[in-house]
């Protein structure tokens, strides 16, 4: 498995040598940042340049592909102006889930408010309601299982925002989040950690019902 600290420490000087002063920021997010990575995990890298042209993407791809297990590299690369004008509801969790390695991400972002965080939670929940409803009605059994797995994982990120709005704390990972959960929210995180195990004890219908009910509560602004 990748040692994220070594990997990022190797990547940074290569980016500095290639892009020089154009490199404005490097960060790490995702499962490696949260300490939840497995052998199958991607390594989520955030890179900001002054501006990004297609040629820059070609160069960056060559750099990361040459890294150890470079095929697992993913994440965000963009221009400083791009990220500053990004929809703020997407930037809330993006910032909270990113560890600075070079520069400070907050220096490149607009002011992000609790209202933006509320929008983030509601928009995330709305997307899940649509996805779950559509697949429950129209997808085959194999597709429904795959969608449930992704939907329960996605609910974790919505739940992080909800917990922050209720407590002022943005939990670092699932383990930290679980300590403050009960009822359906605790069930949702447990299902997201191992959906096949969860499905062994629950019907597919129950899985859909639990997550749909919770998402609709989020969408309608019901308190934790």
| Angle, vertex CA 153, rays to CA 148 and CA 154, nearest 5 | 95
- The pLDDT value recorded for residue 144 is 95
- At 223, the pLDDT band (50, 70, 90 cuts) reads low
For the beta carbon of residue 134, count every other beta carbon within 10 angstroms.
11
Of residues 174 and 60, which shows the higher confidence score?
60
Three-state secondary-structure class, residue 35: coil
pLDDT tens sequence across 48-73: 999 999 999 999 999 999 999 999 99
pLDDT tens sequence across 151-168: 999 999 999 999 999 999
Coarse DSSP helix, strand, coil percentages of the chain, rounded to the nearest 5 percent: 65, 10, 25
Across the chain, mean pLDDT equals 94
What residue spans define the domains of the chain? 4-108, 114-219
Residues 78-82: what's their mean pLDDT? 98
Three-state secondary-structure class, residue 130: helix
Tell me: pLDDT of 222 over 80. Answer: no
Sign of CA dihedral 180, 195, 27, 121: negative
What distance in Å separates the CA atoms of residue 163 and residue 157, rounded to the nearest whole number?
A: 10
49: exposed, middle or buried (Cβ count in 10 Å: 0-12, 13-18, 19+):
buried
Query: Is 60 within 8 Å of 124 (Cβ atoms)?
Result: no
Residues 27-31: what's their mean pLDDT? 96
Three-state secondary-structure class, residue 16: helix
The encoded tokens of residue 63 equal 């750099």
Residues 202-221: what's their mean pLDDT? 93
The encoded tokens of residue 5 equal 């600290």
- The pLDDT value recorded for residue 183 is 83
Question: Alpha carbon 134 to chain centroid distance?
Answer: 23
Fold of the CATH domain 4-108: Beta Polymerase; domain 2 (3.30.460)
Residues 15-31: what's their mean pLDDT? 98
Tell me: pLDDT of 211 over 80. Answer: yes
| % pLDDT > 70, the chain | 99
174, β-bridge pairs: none
224: exposed, middle or buried (Cβ count in 10 Å: 0-12, 13-18, 19+):
middle
Residues 97-107: what's their mean pLDDT? 97
Q: Which residue has the tokens 């992080």?
A: 160
The encoded tokens of residue 97 equal 């889930």
- DSSP annotation of 86 reads S
- DSSP annotation of 180 reads T
- The pLDDT value recorded for residue 135 is 98
- The pLDDT value recorded for residue 224 is 56
- DSSP annotation of 172 reads S
Three-state secondary-structure class, residue 77: strand
Give the number of residues written for the chain: 224
Residues 9-34: what's their mean pLDDT? 97
pLDDT tens sequence across 133-147: 999 999 999 999 999
Tell me: pLDDT of 180 over 80. Answer: no
């Amino acid at each position: 498995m990748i040692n994220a600290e070594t990997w990022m420490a190797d990547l940074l000087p290569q980016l500095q040598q290639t892009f020089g002063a154009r490199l404005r920021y490097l960060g790490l997010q995702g499962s490696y940042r949260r300490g939840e990575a497995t052998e199958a995990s991607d390594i989520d890298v955030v890179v900001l340049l002054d501006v990004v042209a297609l040629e820059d993407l070609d160069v960056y791809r060559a750099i990361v592909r040459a890294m150890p297990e470079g095929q697992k590299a993913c994440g965000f690369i963009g221009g400083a102006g791009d990220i500053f004008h990004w929809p703020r509801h997407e930037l809330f969790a993006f910032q909270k889930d990113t560890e600075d390695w070079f520069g400070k991400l907050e220096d490149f972002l607009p002011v992000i408010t609790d209202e933006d965080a509320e929008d983030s939670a509601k928009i995330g929940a709305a997307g899940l309601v649509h996805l779950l409803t559509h697949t429950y009605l129209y997808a085959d059994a194999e597709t429904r299982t795959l969608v449930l797995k992704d939907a329960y994982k996605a609910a974790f990120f919505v739940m992080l925002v909800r917990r922050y709005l209720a407590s002022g704390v943005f939990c670092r990972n699932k383990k930290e989040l679980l300590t403050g959960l009960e009822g359906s929210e605790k069930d949702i995180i447990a299902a997201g950690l191992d959906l096949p195990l969860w499905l062994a004890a629950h019907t597919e219908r129950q899985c859909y019902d639990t997550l749909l009910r919770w998402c609709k509560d989020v969408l309608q602004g019901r308190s934790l």
